[in-house]
Amino acid sequence: MPDSIIIIPTYNEKENIERMIRKVFSLPHDFHLLVIDDGSPDGTPLIVKRLQSEYEGRLFIEERAGKQGLGTAYIHGFKWCIARSYDYIFEMDADFSHNPDDLLRLRQACIDGADSAIGSRYINGVNVVNWPMSRVLMSYFASVYVRFITGMNIQDATAGFMCYKRKVLETVKLDKIKFVGYAFQIEMKYTTIKHGFKVIEIPIIFTDRTAGTSKMSTRIFREAFLGVIQMKINSIFRKYPEG
C-alpha cells in the first residue's frame, strides 16, 4: 500500500482524464488516484472505469449525483482517504493546469517537515501561462485581498494544487468547511494555519487548460469575495483547535 494518493475532482473532463491517469501512473513514485466525478454527462466516469482494470487496486472513482462543487467533492475525497492508510493526500485538477511532475516536489516538502505544501503560482513572481491577462490579474489580486483580510501569509491563497499530511485532515473539522469554489481553497488553508500546522509554498508553473472548458463561474468568484470577510469574522468567535 503506497503512502500517497491524489484526489482529482472531475466534471466533463473526457478530453483530459485518460491522459492524466496515464501520466500519474508513469511517475517515478507509486501514487494511488481517486477521481471524484459529479455525474459528468460527457462520459468521464466511463473512461475512468475502463482504465480501472488496467490499473487495478490503484485507480478509484467515487461518483456523485450531479454537480455539487469542487469543495464538497474534496471533502468527500478527504474522508475516503483518511478512512484508509494514506499519509500524503493531494489535490490536483484534471486539466493539466497543474503539472503532475510537481507532485513529487510537494510530497518532498511534506517529508521535509511541512504539514501542508501548496503548489504556488505567485511565490517567485507570477508563473501563469496562457491565462488572459484579466484572469491573471483577478487571481493575483484575489490573493492580495485574501492576505489583507485574513492576515494569512500565503502568496497563492486560492491554489488548488496541494499536499496535505494525514494528520491535518484528521484534525480539521471537515464538516465545518462550508465553501465550494475558490473560497473552499482559501478556507482550507486558513483553517490549517489556524490549527498551528506548518504550510509552505513551493513554486510551480500553472498552465491554463488546452482541452475542455473551465467550470468556474461568477457565483464562485462572489462566494470567495464575500466569503473571506465572513470567514475572518467567524474565526474571531472560534477557538482552535476545534473540539
Ligand X SMILES: Nc1nc2c(ncn2[C@@H]2O[C@H](COP(=O)(O)OP(=O)(O)O)[C@@H](O)[C@H]2O)c(=O)[nH]1
Binding site for ligand X (CB under 6 A): 9-11, 13, 36-38, 67-70, 73, 93-95, 97, 209, 214-216
* Chain centroid to CA 173: 17
Size of the site for Mg ion (CB under 5 A): 4
State which of residues 37, 38, 91, 95 lies at the interface with Mg ion (CB under 5 A).
Answer: 95
Cβ atoms of residues 64 and 73 within 8 Å: yes
CB of 157 to ligand X, least distance (A): 14
CB of 1 to ligand X, least distance (A): 25
Q: Which is nearer to Mg ion, 10 or 97 (CB)?
A: 97
Q: Which is nearer to ligand X, 11 or 60 (CB)?
A: 11
Rounded CA-CA distance 13/16 in Å is 5
Q: Which stretch binds Mg ion (CB under 5 A): 1-9, 42-50, 75-83, 91-99?
A: 91-99
Task: Please give the full DSSP string across 165-200, using - where no structure is assigned.
Answer: EHHHHHHS-GGG----SHHHHHHHHHHHHHTT--EE
Q: Helical H runs in the chain?
A: 17-25, 44-52, 70-82, 103-111, 133-150, 166-171, 182-194, 218-236
Rounded CA-CA distance 125/117 in Å is 18
CB of 215 to Mg ion, least distance (A): 8
CB of 216 to ligand X, least distance (A): 4
- What is the residue whose three cell numbers read 466569503? 227
Q: Phi/psi at 117 (nearest 5 deg)?
A: -120, 135
Q: Which is nearer to ligand X, 31 or 197 (CB)?
A: 31
Tell me the three cell numbers of residue 42: 460527457
Q: Which is nearer to ligand X, 114 or 154 (CB)?
A: 154
168 binds, among Mg ion, ligand X, none (CB under 5 to 8 A by kind): none
Q: Which is nearer to ligand X, 134 or 237 (CB)?
A: 134
36 binds, among Mg ion, ligand X, none (CB under 5 to 8 A by kind): ligand X
Over the Cα atoms of the chain, what is R_g?
17
97 binds Mg ion (CB under 5 A): yes
Residue ranges in contact with Mg ion by CB under 5 A: 93, 95, 97, 209
